[in-house]
Structure 1
Amino acid sequence: MSDYVARVHWERKPDQPFTDNRYSRRHVWQFDGGLSVPASSAPQSVPLPQSDPACVDPEEAFVASLASCHMLWFLSLAAKAGWVVDDYRDDAVGVMARNADGQLAMTRVTLRPAVVFGGPTQPDAQQLADVHHRAHEACYIANSVKTEVRCEPVIGR
């Protein structure tokens, strides 16, 4: 098994009160390759100015990780099928709502991958749907969550 490590770091500014719950939610995600990503709570969860809309929030990162995992599997499967992918874009959307237990949760993520192919061999609609289905089944991020994860490929753009 592999370990995947991310460091999350938040620090209170010296002039910032804390117990009044008006502290900044801005923090940093640090990854093993050296990348640091500014992060914050979502403004939908914690109002401005405590949230920073210019930062990535956990909800966006959750949606992006599902979309990224699906894309990486799709690209691998497309290459094995002999298809040349020139461009892949996914405008994925997550929906936060109450789940069956009444808890606030990401209840649905809809992937909308739009793929542009080059080269002499192009998949037909059924082949494309099949590869997206196989990519979804292989995506270990999607396999790791209770959230319903949908894939609605965008054909042509």
Structure 2
Amino acid sequence: MSSHTAEILWERHDGRFTDNRYSRVHRWGFDGGAVVAASSSPHVVRVPFSDPSCVDPEEAFVASLSSCHMLWFLGFAARDGYLVDRYADAAVGEMAKNAEGREAVTRVTLRPAVTFSGTLVPDDDALERLHHEAHESCFLANSVKTVIEIAGSWSHQ
């Protein structure tokens, strides 16, 4: 069993707060030293109280699911002898009311575009199997109620 940590820091920099007119900009810090500027989404809290140049929790959630899937996919592709040259994803998360009537990221669609080279290239069935194995193994996909779809493509160089 392992544990994972993140440090979140927000500070009020002026006298306003109880009028709900305060900045939502904050900082995420990770154990390896990475620091990320974060904010609420401008879709949730209007600018200037949010900052669209920062990462918001919803897009970080989508990126985390995509990254987890990719890492498992790459591992399984390497195990099976496929040479992956590039993996890009344009993942999209959809906000809607969930079964309990609460606003949630109810669906994430992964759109991986994978480029292979070498003599061994997966056919459509093998590619589907790799994505299925990656989805089934992804710690984050196993941790959420969100529907995760995979609509990918691949090419050979």
TM-score strictly above 0.5: yes
What is the SS of the residue equivalent to 1:59?
Answer: helix
Query: Could you give the per-residue CA deviations for residues 68-104 of structure 1, whole angstroms, max 9, x where no partner exists?
Result: 0000000000000100100000000000000111100
Partner residue in 2 for 1:74: 73
Which deviations, in whole Å up to 9, do the C-alpha atoms of 1:40-89 show, x marking residues without a partner?
00000000110000000000000000000000000000000100100000
**Structure 2: unaligned runs, 5 residues or longer:** none
How far, CA to CA, are the matches of 1:16 and 1:105 in structure 2?
Answer: 32
Q: Secondary structure of the residue that 2:55 maps to in structure 1?
A: coil
| TM-score of the two chains, using structure 1 as the length reference | 0.97
Q: CA deviation at 1:16?
A: 4.0
Q: Does 1:11 align with 2:11?
A: yes
Q: CA deviation at 1:156?
A: 4.0
Q: SS in structure 2 opposite 1:116?
A: strand
For 1:116, the equivalent position in structure 2 comes to 115
Unmatched 5+ stretches in structure 1: none
| Aligned position for 2:90 | 91
Residues 32-43 of structure 1 aligned to structure 2 (within 5 Å):
32-43=31-42
Cα shift at 1:155: 3.2
Query: 2:109 corresponds to which letter in structure 1?
Result: T
AA partner of residue 100 (structure 1): A
Runs of 4+ in 1 over 4 A off after TM superposition: none
| Aligned pairs, number | 156
- In the alignment, the residues of structure 2 paired with residue 86 and residue 57 of structure 1 have an alpha-carbon distance, to the nearest angstrom, of 30
Structure 2: how far apart are the matches of 1:86 and 1:30? 31
Query: In the alignment, is the contact (CA less than 8 A) between 2:116 and 2:155 conserved in 1?
Result: no
Report the counterpart of residue 132 of structure 2 in structure 1. Answer: 133
TM-score if structure 2 supplies the norm length? 0.97
Letter in 2 for 1:61: A
Amino acid at match of 1:113: P
Q: CA deviation at 1:154?
A: 2.2
